[in-house]
Amino acid sequence: MKIINKILTTLLIAAGATMAAAPAMAAQNFISNGGFCVTCQLDDWAVTTSQGTFLRIGDFGNNEGQLYVKDQPASINQTFWNTTGPLTLSFDYRLEYSNPDQGLIVQYNNQTVFSTTTRSDDWVHQQITLTGHGQDNLRFVFNTFGVGASTPIHLDNISVTTAVPEPETYGMLCAGLALLGAVARRRKA
């Protein structure tokens, strides 16, 4: 029995040291081409446009590889799988003018999770917590119609990532296992 306890203790210490020394895991991004690669254009995105929509990928003064939409309504969407549990959606946007008839709407599984018609001179970073259901759809709707319909909308750096446990979480797990092992060892003695 003492040999088994020594083996378990050694394994627990080795596992704790390995987890403490391991670098933090990177969050998995489920969106492809969320930075709008200039040479890729809108690869991996399903695009819906109206006649006369100006929809371009390029460098428009700030970010290389941003999406630029104006003149008519348009939308882009992407479906992704294996995403059960908590997710974080983040993206950057910029609206050049304020107009109640024009703006950006973000839908997740056909539910609106964000919308704005407010002008932003600088890029605005938006972050939203979502829940994955296994097969999910993310859609960006660009409402560029109505009076003065040439309001440009810029979009860049779209990502949907999973939550990744912090190293402290692993440390607490190891401490709990060590405590359980100590209690079990004490009961047997």
- CA-based nearest residue to 63, from 34, 89, 20, 98: 34
- Asked if 83 and 53 count as a contact pair (C-beta separation under 8 A), the reply is no
Between 9 and 182, the more confident residue is 182
Q: What are the pLDDT digits (tens) for 76-98?
A: 999 988 778 899 999 999 887 76
Whether residue 158 has pLDDT greater than 60: yes
Total-model pTM: 0.70
**Packed helices 2-21 and 167-188: angle between N→C axes, nearest 10 degrees:** 170
Q: What are the pLDDT digits (tens) for 159-185?
A: 999 866 666 666 777 777 777 777 777
